[in-house]
C-alpha cells in the first residue's frame, strides 16, 4: 500500500527500542513514506541516528515530537510514557496508536485488531490501543469461529518467546547459551528450561499476562460471556509465540468447515498437513506478518469442542505490524 501522495506527518515514540526498530522495518516494507517522519525516544537516546529509506534521521525527545504536531503517533515506549504523553499528542488532534497495556481496558479507548474491529476507530478517536501480542494471534484464530458458531469456552496455554520480554530476555537467553554471566530478565534460567511465569502474579494466582488474554479477548470480540482461562509459559525461543487452544463452540461443526473458515479469514495461514509434518512453528513464522493455524482436530472428550495450535511472530503481527495496519486504516479512512 503506497501513501506517497498523502501529506502526512508520523511520529514513532520509542523508535530505538526492540519493537520500535521492527516498526520502522514494517513501515519501510509497506512503503509508508510520510511527508515527515519524527523518531522520538527517551533522553538517553536523543541525538542518535536512525536510517530509514536510505536517509538518516536524528532521534528527538518526546516533547519535541509533540511540538512537531504529527497527525499520527505510534507508541512503543512503555505504559508510563504512554500515560504521560499520549494525551498530549491527542490534544493536538493526533491519532495515537499505543502498544503498551496503559489504555487497553479503558472503556473509551478502542482495542483494535484491524482485520476484526477497525470500525471501532472514528474520526474523533484520538487514542487507539494495540492489544497484547499473545491476544492478537489468538483472537484472529477465534474470530471466524465466533462469527459462525459462537464461542462458549476457551482454554489457552501459551509458549512465549523471550523477545516478549524485550532486549533483556533475548540477552539472557543468548548469554546462557554462551555460558556468559550477564543481564537477567527472569528469576530462573531460561535456556533449556520453561518458566510458567510471565508478568506479575495477581491475588488470584494468575499472572497479568494470563488475565490480559481473558479481558482483552472479550473486549475485542465484544462478548463478555466467553469463558476463558489461560496459562502463560516463557520458552527459550526468540522467533515467536505459540499457543495451544481448546475451544468449545455453541453449535456443532465439521472440521472440514473449520478449515474452510480459517483459510478464508484475513491475516491467517492454515498450515495443517500433520502427516506430512506441516504445522505452525515459531522458526517458520519469524519475520512474517501472518498468524499460522494448524493441528486442527476434534476434542473427543467434550461436545462441540476442538483443539488448534496457533503461532505468530510476536514482534511483527503481535506488535509492530498490527500498529502499522491501524495507521494504514486511519490514513485511508480519514486523510
Q: Angle at the Cα of 182 (from 176 to 183), degrees rounded to 5?
A: 105
CA-to-CA distance for 234 and 231, rounded, in angstroms? Answer: 10
pLDDT for res 31: 86
Burial class (CB in 10 A: 0-12, 13-18, 19+), 277: exposed
In a shared domain, residues 141 and 106: no
Q: How far is CA 80 from CA 98, 99, 184, 236, 303, in A?
A: 11, 12, 22, 28, 45
Q: Which of 94, 148, 241, 271 is catalytic?
A: 241
pLDDT for res 7: 58
In a shared domain, residues 95 and 141: no
Whether residue 2 is contained in a domain is answered as no
In a shared domain, residues 305 and 199: yes
Whether residue 3 is contained in a domain is answered as no
Under 8 Å between Cβ of 322 and 136: yes
Domain that holds residue 74: 9-131+319-334
Whether residue 4 is contained in a domain is answered as no
In a shared domain, residues 52 and 107: yes
pLDDT for res 32: 82
Residue 271 among the catalytic residues: no
Whether residue 118 is contained in a domain is answered as yes
In a shared domain, residues 184 and 305: yes
pLDDT for res 4: 43
Query: Over 285-307, what HEC string results?
Result: HCCCCCEEEEEEEECCCCCCEEE
Whether residue 1 is contained in a domain is answered as no
pLDDT for res 3: 42
pLDDT for res 303: 97
Number of domains present in the structure of the chain? 2
In a shared domain, residues 152 and 284: yes
Q: What is the pLDDT along the chain (335 residues), one digit of tens a residue?
A: 344 445 589 999 999 999 999 999 999 999 886 889 999 999 999 999 999 888 899 999 999 999 999 999 999 999 999 999 999 999 999 999 999 999 999 999 999 999 999 999 999 999 999 999 999 999 999 999 999 999 999 999 999 999 999 999 999 999 999 999 999 999 999 999 999 999 999 999 999 999 999 999 999 999 999 999 999 999 999 989 999 999 999 999 999 999 999 999 999 999 999 999 999 999 999 999 999 999 999 999 999 999 999 999 999 999 999 999 999 999 999 99
Whether residue 244 is contained in a domain is answered as yes
pLDDT for res 324: 97
In a shared domain, residues 31 and 54: yes
In a shared domain, residues 58 and 81: yes
Q: Which of 133, 148, 188, 271 is catalytic?
A: 133
In a shared domain, residues 74 and 117: yes
In a shared domain, residues 151 and 118: no
CA-to-CA distance for 72 and 86, rounded, in angstroms? Answer: 11
pLDDT for res 34: 81
Whether residue 281 is contained in a domain is answered as yes
In a shared domain, residues 119 and 210: no
CATH of the domain at 110: 3.40.50.720
pLDDT for res 2: 42
Tell me the backbone φ, ψ of residue 301, rounded to 5 degrees: -100, -5
Global confidence as pTM: 0.95
CA-to-CA distance for 56 and 59, rounded, in angstroms? Answer: 10
CA-to-CA distance for 169 and 162, rounded, in angstroms? Answer: 5
Whether residue 298 is contained in a domain is answered as yes
In a shared domain, residues 126 and 259: no
pLDDT for res 5: 41
Amino acid at each position: 500500500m503506497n501513501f506517497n501522495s498523502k501529506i502526512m506527518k508520523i511520529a514513532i515514540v520509542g523508535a530505538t527500542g526492540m519493537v520500535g526498530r521492527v516498526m520502522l522495518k514494517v513501515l519501510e516494507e509497506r512503503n509508508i513514506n510520510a511527508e515527515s517522519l519524527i523518531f522520538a525516544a527517551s533522553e538517553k537516546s536523543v541525538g542518535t541516528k536512525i536510517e530509514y529509506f536510505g536517509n538518516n534521521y536524528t532521534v528527538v525527545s518526546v516533547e519535541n515530537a509533540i511540538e512537531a504536531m504529527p497527525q499520527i503517533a505510534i507508541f512503543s515506549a512503555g505504559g508510563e510514557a504512554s500515560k504521560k504523553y499520549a494525551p498530549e499528542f491527542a490534544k493536538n488532534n493526533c491519532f495515537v496508536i499505543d502498544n503498551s497495556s496503559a489504555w487497553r481496558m479503558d472503556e473509551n479507548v478502542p482495542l483494535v485488531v484491524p482485520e476484526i474491529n477497525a470500525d471501532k476507530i472514528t474520526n474523533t478517536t484520538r487514542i487507539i490501543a494495540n492489544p497484547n501480542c499473545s491476544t492478537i494471534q489468538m483472537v484472529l484464530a477465534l474470530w471466524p469461529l465466533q462469527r459462525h458458531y459462537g464461542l462458549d469456552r476457551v482454554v489457552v496455554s501459551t509458549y512465549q518467546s523471550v523477545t516478549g520480554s524485550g532486549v533483556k530476555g533475548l540477552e539472557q537467553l543468548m548469554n546462557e547459551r554462551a555460558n556468559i554471566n550477564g543481564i537477567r530478565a527472569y528469576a530462573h534460567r531460561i535456556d533449556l528450561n520453561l518458566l510458567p511465569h510471565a508478568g506479575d502474579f495477581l491475588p488470584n494466582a494468575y499472572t497479568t499476562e494470563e488475565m490480559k488474554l481473558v479481558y482483552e479477548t472479550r473486549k475485542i470480540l465484544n462478548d463478555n460471556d466467553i469463558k476463558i482461562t489461560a496459562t502463560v509459559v516463557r520458552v527459550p525461543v526468540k522467533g515467536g509465540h505459540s499457543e495451544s487452544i481448546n475451544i468449545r463452540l455453541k453449535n456443532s461443526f465439521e472440521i472440514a468447515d473449520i478449515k474452510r473458515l480459517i483459510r478464508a479469514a484475513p491475516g491467517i495461514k492454515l498450515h495443517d498437513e500433520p502427516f506430512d509434518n506441516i504445522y505452525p512453528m515459531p522458526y517458520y513464522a519469524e519475520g512474517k506478518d501472518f498468524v499460522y493455524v494448524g493441528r486442527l482436530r476434534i476434542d473427543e472428550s467434550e461436545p462441540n469442542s476442538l483443539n488448534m495450535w496457533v503461532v505468530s511472530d510476536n514482534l511483527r503481527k503481535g506488535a509492530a505490524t498490527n500498529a502499522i495496519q491501524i495507521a494504514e486504516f486511519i490514513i485511508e479512512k480519514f486523510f
